Structure 1
Amino acid sequence: MLNQDTLREATRLTRAGQLVEATALLQRMFKGEYAPSAASHVPQLIDLPGGVPPNIDLKSNRVGRADLKAPGTTARQHRLLFDRAKDGTWLGLRGVKHGPASIADIVPEGTKFIDGTYINEAGSRTYKLFIPSGYQRGQSHPLVVMLHGCTQSPDDFAAGTRMNFIAEEQNCLVVYPAQPGGANPSKCWNWFRAADQRRDEGEPSLIAGITRQVMCDYSIDPRRVFVAGLSAGGAAAAIMGATYSDLYAAVGIHSGLPYGAATDMPSAFTAMRQGGKGACPAATGPMMPTIVFHGDRDTTVHPDNAAQVVEQAIGATKTQKKVHRGQIPGGHGYTRTTHVDGQREILEHWNIHGASHAWSGGSPAGSYTDGDGPDATKEMLRFFLEHPHAG
């Protein structure tokens, strides 16, 4: 029988940011190698809201709050929690495994996709940088920062979104920071940790540092620097938009969550299942131009999160709302809601009907894509280029 104290200790470790240790503890537990028999073996336990740890609803494969003490269910629920922690589903992505994409699926012929590394006090991160064939030093180019989802890599994310191919048409550079397994066992950006939600600290400082390093090394227009992401990467993009509005001119959030939707693992479960109702208050200053994509059949990150991203982005800005409906031939219908600030459409929310947790309009060469939806990559880049920093 699995020991509930062990699961609580794994939760405590995760909340403290020790994700590798938490995963190792669960692995030992399921092998029967470690099962503390008393709370004295796990000092300083933090009680979870409601007095019980989060569980998984076995019928829907979603997070719930039911009592884990029900006879005959505890072991299965604990094992499913561990399985989801291993493959990234509890933090935002679920799908089939893909082999490595070919270079032809990642970049157009005649372009470059090079490696880089950035280091600061918070640690280091590698990245991949796309340089279009039309790049010229001395000529200002736009830059898009792309944050992958759980279990993904820069190559996989580039292949699935085809962002490099659209960027080649627009003569944009694209940088893909990589989240290593050492920072998160599922390679998720740690959007749910308070320490990784603040400017000039943790992962935001690393992502911003990579952005600035590329801006320093290449001819980048500082008025046209943008950030986008999928799932955990979308939640991280929301954090970057909220904390570095001076650096990024606009943000794209696909199947993500609002800034401050969670501060630890239990609240991450809740936000993903019910929406980020505990998110940070809406901005009171100038609105960050934002484009949001979310499938209305997403059972991994609840679609209500998209509405909360929109509400948070608008803040105190007075806007007029317009609703447009469309249909992809042979694919998904969608509702595109725009918010107009004066004469400019400052925010777009694409609600994709019948779509689940995947990049809309993406390529099967990458993971977690849905080719039946509107082309999120093309629409995001179009939106970005329409919204440079003022001044």
Structure 2
Amino acid sequence: MTARGTTLMTLVSTLIAIAGVVLAPGASAASLVEVTGFGDNPGRMRMHVYVPDARPAEPAIVVAMHGCGGSGPGFHSSSEFSSLADRHGFVVIYPSAQQEAGFGKCFDTWSDAAKRRGGGSDPVSIVSMVTYVQQRYGGDPDRVFATGSSSGGMMTNEMLALYPDVFKAGAAFMGVPFHCFANAADFPPGSSRCTGGGGLNRTPQQWGDAVRQAYPGYTGPRPRVQLWHGTADTLVPYSLLQEEIEQWTNVFGLSQTPTSTDTPRPGWNRSRYSDKVEAYSIQGAGHSLPSAGMAAAALEFFGITGTGGPNPPQPGTCGVKAAVTAWNNGLTESITITNTGTTAIDGWSLAFTLPGGQTITSGWNATYSPSAGQVTARNAGHNATIAPNRSVDIGFQATHTGDTAPAAPFTLNGVTCSTG
């Protein structure tokens, strides 16, 4: 390269850095890029990745999986995840299944290998894709999520069961419970014990045991689960939504009786089971999900965004007070979040920026990620709902290198809060 060319490249790089935009090699917000050689790939899968130009240093990762007969590029084109990635700065992995199952290529949720952690087949390939994105693009290991439609919804439940230490939450559209299919011969819906004849019926304990046996001895936190199904779905029977609910509520030790029900949008009937499981019955919908707005609701559930979901606060309806107590190289910051609106906030995430040199070491009444820079605090189970004119108190302990100012500014579910 000539000296003039080198100078020009240096100038461009400097301008990009000043603008605060991080660029990763090999992908742009305008294109879907295929990745080969991403790691262990026993499922012989193809991988495409969508990496927006503007994103944080440690972006969230969403694995978005197609239905039978589809492909990663096809799901990229037909769903809203990549356009939302441009707005909110997360990376999307689009795997392409390669296993023929009578309906074109489907994700393997039937083989013995696919039902055991580290057993092989498609689940291992998908984890390799996640690891690749973490290493290549700095993906945040504390914000990895799975979603998918039909076969991809089935694989979403699969990944949450097999790799609860990798995935923090999932949104399964038109899926089936983990370990629903006995083998490959049981997969076609017409002759399947799982999906044929109205769907398989087991007890919550049986479904929960299947998940627990997938990773014996695991005692860590389980990923939160969002489930979607159309009431007029006959290909993957609507009755299987109840079986999924029974499976995951049993895993969490919850009752099958919802803690709350509502209709966030016309035709969307939602049941919540604590803050761990939520299920959407879409009135009159067939085997056609996700439809408009559902990807945004999934991202809201994941905590990636606070906008586009069913219950975001309105502008001017939140207030935050922050107080710092500092000593030597440490500090605590107490934060009070107040709902100043007229409707309850049901599920929240509070985003803020820490001053340079501050690093969170522990916190209370919320989960915090990452530990420095642009941080998001997400509600705990006991304080997910903030009633009108009510407040919740959270806080954290941090180290500092001299700057003990409080965090700022604060946005609750994407809405800027007043401070003072």
TM-score, normalising length: structure 1: 0.61
1:298/1:357 contact within 8 Å kept: yes
2:39/2:132 contact within 8 Å kept: no
Give 1:271's aligned residue. 194
Matched, 1:124 2:60: no
Matched, 1:240 2:159: yes
- In structure 2, how many angstroms separate the alpha carbons of the residues matched to 1:214 and 1:231? 24
- In structure 2, how many angstroms separate the alpha carbons of the residues matched to 1:122 and 1:389? 35
Q: Which runs of 5+ in 1 are unaligned?
A: 1-108, 363-374
Give 1:199's aligned residue. 117
| The one of 147, 164, 180 aligned to 2:65 | 147
- In structure 1, how many angstroms separate the alpha carbons of the residues matched to 2:98 and 2:91? 23
Give 1:250's aligned residue. 169
| The one of 203, 209, 215 aligned to 2:128 | 209
Q: CA deviation at 1:158?
A: 1.3
Alpha-carbon RMSD: 2.7
Give 1:361's aligned residue. 291
Q: Which amino acid aligns with 1:146?
A: A
Q: Pairwise mapping of residues 3-82 of structure 1 onto structure 2 (< 5 A)?
A: none
Matched, 1:351 2:281: yes
- In structure 2, how many angstroms separate the alpha carbons of the residues matched to 1:256 and 1:172? 24
Structure 1 or 2, whichever has the larger Rg, is 2
Q: CA deviation at 1:349?
A: 0.5
Give 1:94's aligned residue. none
Higher fraction of strand: 2
Q: Which amino acid aligns with 2:249?
A: I
SS of 1:223's equivalent?
Answer: coil
- In structure 2, how many angstroms separate the alpha carbons of the residues matched to 1:232 and 1:389? 32
Q: CA deviation at 1:230?
A: 0.9
Matched, 1:281 2:217: no
Matched, 1:304 2:239: yes
1:289/1:347 contact within 8 Å kept: yes
| The one of 307, 331, 335 aligned to 2:269 | 335
* Residues 1:390 and 1:251: Cα distance change in structure 2 (over 3 Å): farther
**Which whole-Å deviations, capped at 9, do the CAs of 1:356-376 have from their partners, x for residues lacking one?**
0012324xxxxxxxxxxxx21
Give 2:4's aligned residue. none
Higher fraction of helix: 1
- In structure 2, how many angstroms separate the alpha carbons of the residues matched to 1:174 and 1:359? 18
- In structure 1, how many angstroms separate the alpha carbons of the residues matched to 2:126 and 2:207? 20
SS of 2:269's equivalent?
Answer: strand
Q: Which runs of 5+ in 2 are unaligned?
A: 1-27, 213-218, 305-348, 350-365, 370-420
Matched, 1:318 2:254: yes
| The one of 275, 282, 294 aligned to 1:376 | 294
Greater relative contact order structure (CA < 8 Å, 6+ sep)? 1
1:294/1:303 contact within 8 Å kept: yes
* Residues 1:324 and 1:197: Cα distance change in structure 2 (over 3 Å): same
Q: CA deviation at 1:184?
A: 7.5
- In structure 1, how many angstroms separate the alpha carbons of the residues matched to 2:234 and 2:290? 15
Q: Which amino acid aligns with 1:208?
A: V
**Which whole-Å deviations, capped at 9, do the CAs of 1:129-176 have from their partners, x for residues lacking one?**
01112035xx11100001111111112111211110112211110000
- In structure 2, how many angstroms separate the alpha carbons of the residues matched to 1:360 and 1:237? 14
Q: Which amino acid aligns with 1:302?
A: P
1:223/1:390 contact within 8 Å kept: no
- In structure 1, how many angstroms separate the alpha carbons of the residues matched to 2:238 and 2:367? 29
TM-score, normalising length: structure 2: 0.57
* Residues 1:275 and 1:288: Cα distance change in structure 2 (over 3 Å): farther
